Chain A
Amino acid sequence: DAKTTQPPSMDCAEGRAANLPCNHSTISGNEYVYWYRQIHSQGPQYIIHGLKNNETNEMASLIITEDRKSSTLILPHATLRDTAVYYCIVRAKAAGNKLTFGGGTRVLVKP
């Protein structure tokens, strides 16, 4: 799987949009971008995934650049409950659908 690079931490203001960047410059054509988050002492929670088109669901939006070398997860209105570690993962079906977790971004939403 292509490796990803995320900032180790970032602070966000409650009620504002949180934009979480992820670089995946070695991504190949059949690899998906997945986002999960892990709140302290819980299992990871699926947020969203995409291949090349931008995606939106009830939790977040995923913006993937045209060259697919980077993406941004957008939490439209951050709340205190969004404080978590956010993982950007690139996954290939050919690799047995394994997910390789990196360090993620520790997001702290402040009042």
Chain B
Amino acid sequence: SQQGEEDPQALSIQEGENATMNCSYKTSINNLQWYRQNSGRGLVHLILIRSNEREKHSGRLRVTLDTSKKSSSLLITASRAADTASYFCATVRTYTDKLIFGTGTRLQVFP
């Protein structure tokens, strides 16, 4: 069964705008990861945030984690057309080694 659910399922914005994607999950976790997938290609790891962390940055990416609400958000600032892709959150449940993926958010950035 899917652990993470992303919201929205699809998002369209203009270049230069910020894009925010949310992920909710059901059980306690060790860490949460975000991946990016260009159409039909392999997934690429973006960022990992551990359960004891609340916020993490990597370039134009900002990830937050709220374990009390079992949710995370991925913010992409100053979006570019090249950011067009699907974004997936994935969680590692506590006491397991299993990474479970959500169904993804499709982001379209128009030039």
A and B: bona fide binding partners: no
Residues of B with Cβ closer than 8 Å to A? none
- Chain A residues with CB under 8 Å of chain B are none
